Each structure stands twice: as C-alpha cells, then as structure tokens.
A and B are shown apart, each in its own frame.
Chain A
Amino acid sequence: MTASQDTIGQICKLLEPFNSTGKVLTPDTEISTDLNIDSVAVMDFVMEVEDHFDIEIPLNVVSETHSINDLAMVVDARTKKA
C-alpha cells in the first residue's frame, strides 16, 4: 500500500532539517536507520509531524513505523478519521 503523494511530500519537508546525511528522501527511506538520526531527534520529528497534521500518533504505532511511506500511511489514516 502506498500513501498519498501529498502527505509524503509534506513529511519529507518536515524531515529535511533532521537529515544531516544529505541523502535524497524517498518513500522507502527508513527514517531512523537510513538517516542516522538520534533517537531523541526522531521523537522531536514525530512531534513536528503530529503538530503539522494536528493528529496524535501513539507510541505503539510509532514503534511499527519504519519508512517515510509507513509514516505517511499512518498520517493518512488519522487525518481521514478526524
């Protein structure tokens, strides 16, 4: 399953400041591992996503989220609900 391009684009924009590796972000980019972001910074990024989309992402869902596409799907599901 894939998420909406629009959501992916917005997430990439939010993620860019945390991406110190300079790697090109794609839907398959694994957020914590490919970009070598510290665990605290990852939580900071998740907060940015929550604030931006005005949703809450519970920790159990966070722990099952790997790629940008995974996260975008979580966002899509939660913004639709609202």
Chain B
Amino acid sequence: MTAKAANQNVEAVAAELARTPRANRNLEQKLAGFKTIAEGLDYAACGLTGFNFYSAKGVLSHVLTYAELRRRALATARKLMSAGMKRGDRVAIIAETGPEFMAVFFGCQYAGLVPCPMPYTMYIGGKDAYVGRVAGMLRAAAACAVVTSADLEGHIRAGAAGAGVENVLTHEKLQALPESLAKLEAFGPDDVAYIQYSSGSTSEPKGVLITQKAIMANTQGILRDGLRVTKSDRAFSWLPLYHDMGLVGFCLAPMMGQVSVDYISTPSFARRPALWLRLMSENRSTVSYSPSFGYDLAARRINGEAVTLDLSNWRAAGIGGDMVRADVLKHFGETLSVAGFDQNAFMPSYGMAESTLAVSFSDVAQPIRIDTIDKFAYKNSGRAIPATEAQDQDAVRSFVVCGKPLPGHEMVVRDEFGRALKDREIGHIFVRGPSLMFGYYHNTQATEAVIAADGFLATGDMGYMLNDEIVITGRAKDLILHNGRNIWPQDIEWAAEQVEPLKSGDVAAFAVEGDDGDDDVVVLVQCRATGDVEIEKLRREVSAVVHHSAGVECEVVLVPPKSLPFTSSGKLSRAGAKQKYLSGEFVEIAHRSSQAAEFLAAAQ
C-alpha cells in the first residue's frame, strides 16, 4: 500500500467513526406511529442518525447509523434463513451491547424470526450459575438457535447442551454464512415482536411475549407523551439490552423516533460509573435513565471531575427499575449541580416488562414530587395520610410520585378482595392497555395468574393513587430488588439447600429494607449442627453459594430446626418468616468464636 493510500485509509476510518448527528435535517421526525419495528427502522434508515458504541475506556469504537443497521439487518436476515431458521422460530441472542447484537435482533424482524435477548455473565466466579440460567431460558424459549460472541461461546455451548439446543452460532460464523435468496417476509402488524427473558426465577424462567402492536403503543407513549421527544434530543444508555429499560427505552424507542443513542456497556458502567457522566457531557446528551443505584454509584465516583463536566443539556434524568430513592437523587443533584445538572430533570417513572416497559411517567416539565405520609397509619391502616410538619422524621415515610398512566392505559388500585380503592388507600396495583404483553411464552398457567379475564395485569406492586397519579410503596410479591436487578428468593433458597446437610424447606430468603432504602437480603437457615466448626462452616458455605448463584451479599441467620413457618398448604411462608425475624422471635444461633473460624480456614 502506498503512503497516500494508507493515509486515505486512515481518513476513511476516522470519517467512519464520526458519531451520528443529533437529528436529521432533511427528514421529518416521526414519534412512532409505525405498524412494525421493521417499518420504523425503514423510516429511520432514510436519515443520518443511529447508534454509537463507546469502549470501556470511553473511546468511540463503532458507529452504526440506522441506514447501516438496516443494511446489516437485511443481510443477517438472509443468513439466518440459510442457517435453517423457519418463520416463527425463536432465536436467542446474547445481548452484549454492540452492533452485532443489533444486526441479529433487527435481522430477525425482517426474517419473521422471534428474537430472545438473553443476559451475559459479569460476575466473578459466576460461570456455573450462568450456564444453568441460560440453559433454563433456552429450554423455556424452545430456542432453535443461539447467537453469541466468540468470548462466551464456551459458556453458551455448555448451556445449550443442557437445553438440547444444537445450533450455536458465533456472530462471526453467522456472518460468514451465505445469504439465502428466498423472499424475506418481515413481521406484520399482527405478529409477535420478541420475547424477553428477564422475568421469572432461574428454575422457572418466564418469557414475556411482546407483540408488534404492544411495542408500537408503548414506544409512542414513551416518545410522545412521556419524554416529549424533539429533534434536539440525544440519548445515552449503559442499561443492558436484555432488560426492558435498555431494549425498549434505549434501543427501540429512540429508533422509532429517529433519535441518536450513545452507548457504553453495562460492565463498563459498573467498572467506571463516572464514564456515564463524562460521555454525556461530551455528547451534550439530553435523555438518560438509571435505577436509583446508578445515580448513587456515579455521584460517589465522580469526585473532583464534576466541575469539568457540562450536564446542563440533560433534561430527562429518568429513574426506574427499583424504588426511587429521594435521598440518593438529592445527593446526586447536589454533587452534579456544579456541572450544571438541573435537579428538575429527574423524572420518576413506573413500568415493567409485562407492560413492554412504561406504564407511567411523572411530568417531564415538573420537578420531582415527594409525598410524605404518617408511618403509623401506613403500617397499620393501609392509608397514606399526609404527615404534619410537626411530625418527627421517625414517624413519617416519604414516597415519590410516579405520574399518570400513558394515554390509552388504565391503572387501578384494589384491595385484597378486588375492590377498587380510593385516593390515598394502599393496595395492589393493576394496569390495562395496549402495551400489555400477549402473555408468558408457552405458559398459560403463569399468564392466567397475572392477567385476569377483564384484561387487567396484576403488577405485583403495592401503592396508592393521588389525583390520577400513582405512588409506589413496595411489592406484594416476594421478589427481591438489588441494585436494579430482580432476584427471586426461590433461586437463593434452592441454591442454599444444595449445601450439605440442608434439605428442601430448610431455607427462607427475603429482603428487608436497608438503611439506604435498598433491599438487604436475609437468608434464614435451619441448623441442626451443634459443633462450633460445623456451625461456622454452614454459615460460610451458604453465604458462598448465595454469592455464586445470585451475586448478592446476604446475611445468613442460623435458626433452630423446625422454626421456619409454613402455610396451611405446606408451603414455606416467606412473609411469616420475615415477620418473625423482624419481631425478633427467632432464637438465633450466634456466631461462634473467631477461633473456630480460624481453625476452619487452617483446616482447608
């Protein structure tokens, strides 16, 4: 190659790696209103906007305009067909944030295949738990093929073998296949769109089946009614693409509005939380979302750098995925005010995968609103009575108002007998509307358990209405929320019960609210051992296995045999165990001397 050619090559690469523009000058912005995802991409591909991927060190590494994505997706659709896929087949894709995932996900849309984004592993020592989890998801999806990065191929092959899925393709291998010449038949308006597998426990994963109609309705609600997107918007996301907030909120919705998105991967964010803010400053981003814990991490890690940033363009700082923590937001707002961050940008919202993503948004133009209520009435009479100014901090509880449901959607709060409740009466939250999932894939029983004949979805969350707006107070179901992740207590219990000599029914896992408002995990274990060494060994092993399987730290509490409460039908009562624990009714088997622990360490 001549020096000049080499130079041109470098220039070509540099030119290619200019991030996509904020808006399309010559293309009218449409905020959804399409019939299918493929139609939305066809339209976005007429402009210059698209996706930009940054490396773990914050360097722009891939630019994928919607036009280029459409070209790649069409080619990938033909390659998937040469891989033997037939219309309606499920294609699992390990959803690492990058252009490869996008090509396969949207390729499926053009080929009439059902993409199932699946998680990757990011925990130290987490391989075995991950392989089991993937196997369960592949089995539940009856996946015909799974597409993965070469890095994770070994893990995925192990999981696929466990699920009886033979077709494991790396992105390289898929892209090397010839393009089928058969006619491409994209999904139509009445077809499905994708299946999301972040719901359900490891032992019984539930795939949320989302239709094209639901995704069209929800993305329109997000763009037009929730965020009120304009041509001056530019989105930023580090959220995982196997989760609804990442996939719908920061991939599908922006595309349906021809908005450019800048990405870092979730592990990149976890390793360098400040990178989120630095790149948002660089790109003058206007919209970004995170669970409360993300704001917490970023605020704690930004240190002196805050003063060098410009976050004044950030108009919608959304919070979702966990209980909105007002204290965390306040700290973030104070820390980043020096960077021009506007506290009024905070936008609490409420949603779930079963409703595609969004159910309600607080008003984007309004500051965050907090309802402070009397704690005694909240706990004892199930009513949210406004606290008086004279009341002590310990006598009140504060909750964040999460806004009105999207137009065309209904939200009701009911008591345990199904009667509709009035404003400020706390009960179970139900939602209905065009965004609801079709059901859990191939699981009628689980679907009927949450969607009733009247079309209302039982969200599993508790709360109350306040002038047509919803306030979330907690969860009715046993689900544990930790750092924005859903953890099923069944998974922790099942893992712990594998520790010798524990048996089924010896373990109860639940969450208690920590000092910071996040869930702390408590694991009660019935202990028959009497020797100090055995007792400490059991404590250590349960803690280790919970760590490996669920990736959380937990407090292991050893309790006497036969002390865990069971329901009349013989099922473990987690609520009962929690209540007993909180009221101090258990005779806890105390930590033995550190000598025993040291002996144990030496013996290994």
Contacts and interface: CB of A to CB of B under 8 A. Distances in A.
B152 A59 contact: yes
A76 interface: no
Interface string A31-68: 11110111110111011001000001011101111100
Given A33-B543, A36-B543, A40-B297, A62 B122 contact: yes
Interface in B105-151: 120-127, 130, 151
Interface string B267-300: 1001110000000000000000000010001000
- Residue in B125, B271, B483 with the greatest tally of chain A CB atoms within 10 Å: B125
A43 B122 contact: yes
Given A43-B270, A62-B123, A38 B552 contact: yes
B553 interface: yes
A59 B151 contact: yes
Contacts of B530: none
Interface of B: 56, 120-127, 130, 151-152, 154-155, 267, 270-272, 293, 297, 483, 540, 543-544, 547-548, 551-553, 604
A69 to B, nearest CB: 13
Given A32-B547, A60-B151, A63-B155, A37 B126 contact: no
Given A40-B270, A44-B271, A31 B125 contact: yes
A79 B551 CA distance: 28
Nearest to B550: A39
B154 A33 contact: no
A41 to B, nearest CB: 9
Given A33-B547, A46-B271, A65-B125, 16 more contacts: A36-B547, A37-B553, A39-B123, A40-B293, A40-B483, A43-B124, A43-B270, A47-B271, A56-B56, A59-B120, A59-B122, A60-B151, A60-B152, A60-B154, A62-B122, A64-B127
Contacts of A47: 271-272
B192 to A, nearest CB: 30
A62 B297 contact: no
A32 B549 CA distance: 11
Given A28-B604, A32-B547, A33-B543, A63 B271 contact: no
A17 to B, nearest CB: 14
B151 A42 contact: no
A35 to B, nearest CB: 9
B325 to A, nearest CB: 16
B126 A30 contact: no
A55 B124 CA distance: 17
Given A59-B152, A60-B151, A31 B604 contact: no
B25 to A, nearest CB: 39
13 contacts: A32-B123, A33-B125, A36-B547, A40-B483, A43-B122, A43-B124, A43-B267, A47-B272, A59-B122, A60-B121, A62-B122, A63-B121, A65-B125
Given A40-B270, A44-B271, A63 B604 contact: no
A64 B123 CA distance: 9
Contacts of B272: 47
B121 A59 contact: yes
